[in-house]
Structure 1
Amino acid sequence: MAALVQTLAVAEYLSFRHAAKALGVSQSSVSARVKALEEELNIFLFERHARGVRLTEAGRHFIDRVAIGIDQLDYAVRTAGMAARGELGSLRLGIHDLIPGSFLANLLERYRQQHPGIEVEIAEGTARKNLMQLRADRLDVTFVTGSPEFSDCRSRPIWSERLLAALPSCHPLSEGAGVTWADLAGETFIVRHGGTGPQAHDHIVLRLAGGCPDLAILRFDVERGTLLSMVAQGYGVTVVGEATSLTHTPGVTFLPVLDELEPVAFSAVWSPHNRSPLVRSLLGLAVEMGRSPPLS
Structure 2
Amino acid sequence: MQWKYLSRVQLGELEAAAAVARTLSFRAAAEALRIAQPSVSRKVAHLEDTLGCRLFERDRVSVQLTPAGRMLTDRLPELFQALEQCLSESADAGHGITGTVRIGFSEAAMSSFLPPLLRAVKRACTGCSLELTEAASNEVAEGVRTRRFDAGFALARPRDPELDVTPLPSEPVGVVLPDDHPLAERSVLGLADLRDEAFILFPRPVNPHLYDRMIVCCAEFGFSPRVALEVTPRSKAIAMAAAGEGIATIPERLRHQCLPGTVYRRLAPPAPEIEFSMLVRTETRAEWLEVMHRHVAALWADSADGAQ
TM-score range, shorter chain: 0.7 to 0.9
1:164 aligns with 174
Residues 1:175 and 2:177 are matched in the alignment:
no
SS in structure 2 opposite 1:170? coil
Residues 1:216 and 2:241 are matched in the alignment:
no
Deviation at 1:118, TM superposition (A): 1.7
Give, in whole Å, the separation in 2 of the partners of 1:161 and 1:117: 33
**Which shifted more, 244-253 or 12-21?**
12-21
Q: 1:197 to 1:128 in 2, by over 3 A?
A: closer
Deviation at 1:198, TM superposition (A): 5.5
Letter in 2 for 1:90: T
SS in structure 2 opposite 1:159? coil
Question: CA-to-partner distance for each residue in 1:158-187, whole Å, 9 max, x for gaps?
Answer: 232112122233332223231111111222
Identity level (%): 28
SS in structure 2 opposite 1:163? strand
1:268 aligns with 278
Give, in whole Å, the separation in 1 of the partners of 2:214 and 2:234: 17
CA contact (8 A) 2:166 2:279 kept: yes
Return the structure number with greater helix share: 2
Letter in 2 for 1:265: E
SS in structure 2 opposite 1:162? strand
**How is 1:1-296 mapped onto 2 (pairs within 5 angstroms)?**
1-12=11-22, 14=24, 16=26, 19=29, 23=33, 30-31=40-41, 33-48=43-58, 53-63=63-73, 66-67=76-77, 69-97=79-107, 102-193=112-203, 200-208=210-218, 211-212=222-223, 215-221=226-232, 223-247=233-257, 249-260=259-270, 263-290=273-300
Q: 1:57 to 1:251 in 2, by over 3 A?
A: farther
Question: CA-to-partner distance for each residue in 1:34-91, whole Å, 9 max, x for gaps?
Answer: 3443345442112348996443222234335655543332122211221233211232
Q: 1:10 to 1:290 in 2, by over 3 A?
A: farther
Deviation at 1:144, TM superposition (A): 2.9
Give, in whole Å, the separation in 2 of the partners of 1:100 and 1:40: 59
2:5 aligns with none
Q: 1:224 to 1:12 in 2, by over 3 A?
A: farther
Scaled by the length of structure 1, the TM-score of the pair is 0.79
Cα RMSD, aligned residues only: 3.5
**Which shifted more, 283-292 or 12-21?**
12-21
CA contact (8 A) 1:98 1:105 kept: no
Q: 1:249 to 1:51 in 2, by over 3 A?
A: farther
Q: 1:3 to 1:274 in 2, by over 3 A?
A: same
Letter in 1 for 2:185: E
CA contact (8 A) 2:108 2:254 kept: no
Give, in whole Å, the separation in 1 of the partners of 2:23 and 2:179: 80
CA contact (8 A) 1:89 1:117 kept: yes
Structure 1 segments unaligned to the other structure (5+ residues): none
Deviation at 1:97, TM superposition (A): 1.4
Q: 1:27 to 1:285 in 2, by over 3 A?
A: farther
Give, in whole Å, the separation in 2 of the partners of 1:78 and 1:214: 58
Deviation at 1:218, TM superposition (A): 0.2
Q: 1:54 to 1:192 in 2, by over 3 A?
A: farther
Give, in whole Å, the separation in 1 of the partners of 2:204 and 2:14: 58
Give, in whole Å, the separation in 2 of the partners of 1:249 and 1:107: 28
SS in structure 2 opposite 1:106? helix
Q: 1:182 to 1:16 in 2, by over 3 A?
A: same
Question: CA-to-partner distance for each residue in 1:193-225, whole Å, 9 max, x for gaps?
Answer: 49956555433333336844671330224x333
Q: Number of paired residues?
A: 292
